[in-house]
Amino acid sequence: GSTPSSYADHIFEKVNPEMEKLGYECKCLGGGKIDHNSKDKKIRVFGLSTGYGKADHSVTVEILKKVYTDYEITWSDDKK
């Protein structure tokens, strides 16, 4: 089996061709990890992609807040 981090690094490569078919131009602005704790209703955005660098986690948090309205969502530049 593959490790979770190597899978995550390839999400962009998987999604990009499909998005281009729909007429979207995609650009990967960076990466990171999301720690989702459904029991405590907490989401933490952190880390970075070795290939793409760090995404702007504050933007990710704003998007997540629209979907997970009753969660406590935080972010940091920590790698772990």
What is the per-residue pLDDT for 9?
A: 56
Q: Residue 73 has what pLDDT?
A: 97
Judged against a pLDDT cut of 80, whether residue 5 lies above it is answered with no
pLDDT digits (tens, 9 = 90+) for 23-74: 999 888 889 999 999 999 999 999 998 888 899 999 999 999 999 999 999 9
| Nearest-angstrom CA–CA distance, 60 and 58 | 5
So what's the pLDDT on residue 38? 95
User: Which domains are delineated in the chain?
Assistant: 4-76 (3.50.20.20)
Do 14 and 7 meet the contact criterion of CB atoms below 8 Å apart? no
pTM, to two decimals: 0.71
Tokens matching residue 39: 């029991």
Nearest partner of 9 among 32, 25, 35, 36, judged by Cα? 32
To 5 degrees, how large is the angle CA 74–CA 16–CA 64?
20
Element (H, E) at 42: strand 42-46
